[in-house]
Amino acid sequence: MEEPTPHQPVLYNEIIHLLQPHRTGHYVDCTVGAGGHAWGILQACEPDGLLLGFDVDTYALQLARKRLESFSNRATLVHSSFTNLSKQLNAVGWQMVDGILLDLGISSMQLDIPERGFSFRKDALLDMRFDLRNPVRAIDLVNNLPEQELADLLYTYGEERRSRQVARAIVRARPMETTHQLASVVAKTTSSGRTRMHPATRTFQALRIAVNQELDALREVLPQAISSLTPKGRLAVISYHSLEDRIVKHYFRNEGKDCICPPKQPICDCGHTASIRIITKRPIRPQEGEIERNPRARSARLRVVEKLSTE
């Protein structure tokens, strides 16, 4: 079967290789997007493998349904957050699955649609919602949060070192409605020195994470994903910034150990046992060729674990 589009998602070959899809397997793409990874998984697990795909973005689901239509009833796509993983697996009657993929963050297609308000490259209303059912938009945070809360948000989710100055400048410039207005205010406040990163990048990241509660969702789905895997089933997570990767790394590290007591505690009393084996001792990064084809892949980090047998 020929791939219907010449474009491939980030770390495509690595995902297919490490998830090891097989012909009778059940797989979950928690962030199906336009269906690129899902297409590869379904092709690799022909003829009988099945896939369940999640996305909160209705536009992404439309693209995914079209892209995966040749796989017929082997692919089931649902408009839902991956935080509902366990509930959705029960809904389709799947007890356990053989592989799960989490491709975190924002997609290129979301960045490239100005009306979504994710990017400062083109002017648009400050929206930044993955799920348009979400009542909170970036414009609401920018114009309504108290200055200190806004500064904390920028520091925590954007790792913006000048968060207080940026928050103060935003509050003084209120009301703001568009991406260009916000980017201009931030650039005037933080621009200094030579850097490839736009001065507003961290602010936009922070607002997007806060609007979509991305880190909370990640913490919520990881335990569900591990508990949903069959023995030797695999979970693959692609993250794009240190906040996400840190959560994934620490969770995998803890779940891969038999004891999580403090290092100086002489006797173990935690009762914890390892549930996973870490496959990627260090995160896998895109190779130079992929980065040349898709510069947005530069920051991607892939971590993979395998569920241990309970016997």
Condensed to tens digits (0 to 9), the pLDDT of residues 153-192 reads 999 999 999 999 999 999 999 999 999 999 999 999 986 5
What residue type is 102 in one-letter code?
Answer: L
Query: What is the C-alpha separation between 2 and 116, in angstroms, rounded?
Result: 31
What's the start-to-end Cα distance of the chain, in Å?
Answer: 39
| Model confidence band, residue 194 (pLDDT cutoffs 50, 70, 90) | low
| Model confidence band, residue 20 (pLDDT cutoffs 50, 70, 90) | very high
pLDDT digits (tens, 9 = 90+) for 239-264: 999 999 999 999 999 999 887 778 77
Is the model more confident about 271 or about 221? 221
- Structure tokens belonging to residue 224: 């569900």
Query: What is the C-alpha separation between 63 and 48, in angstroms, rounded?
Result: 23
Query: What is the C-alpha separation between 259 and 126, in angstroms, rounded?
Result: 46
196 has a pLDDT exceeding 80: no
Q: Output the pLDDT for position 192.
A: 59
30 has a pLDDT exceeding 50: yes
**E strand intervals along 32-72:** 50-55
Query: What is the C-alpha separation between 157 and 203, in angstroms, rounded?
Result: 8
Task: Give the full edge-to-edge strand order of the sheet including 276-278.
Answer: 75-79, 50-55, 26-29, 97-103, 229-239, 301-307, 276-278
What residue type is 66 in one-letter code?
Answer: K
| Model confidence band, residue 311 (pLDDT cutoffs 50, 70, 90) | very low
Query: What is the C-alpha separation between 200 and 119, in angstroms, rounded?
Result: 10
C-beta of residue 303 within 8 angstroms of C-beta of residue 236: yes
Q: In percent, how much of the chain has pLDDT > 90?
A: 81
Report which of 182, 160, 180, 157 is spatially closest to residue 171, judged by C-alpha positions: 182
Domains and CATH numbers, the chain: 12-103+214-307 (3.40.50.150), 116-212 (1.10.150.170)
The neighbouring-strand residues paired with 234 are 99, 306
Q: How far is CA 126 from the centre of its chain?
A: 21
SS3 102: strand
268 has a pLDDT exceeding 50: yes
Report which of 236, 272, 261 is spatially closest to residue 19, judged by C-alpha positions: 236
Report which of 286, 280, 285 is spatially closest to residue 303, judged by C-alpha positions: 280
C-beta of residue 88 within 8 angstroms of C-beta of residue 52: yes
269 has a pLDDT exceeding 80: no
C-alpha pair distances (Å), 282 with each of 35, 279, 302, 305 = 27, 9, 9, 11
Query: What is the C-alpha separation between 194 and 196, in angstroms, rounded?
Result: 7
| Model confidence band, residue 4 (pLDDT cutoffs 50, 70, 90) | very low
Please state the rounded mean pLDDT for residues 76-102: 97
Helices (H) and strands (E) in the chain, counts: 13, 7
Please state the rounded mean pLDDT for residues 114-138: 94
What residue type is 128 in one-letter code?
Answer: M
2 has a pLDDT exceeding 80: no
Please state the rounded mean pLDDT for residues 74-89: 97
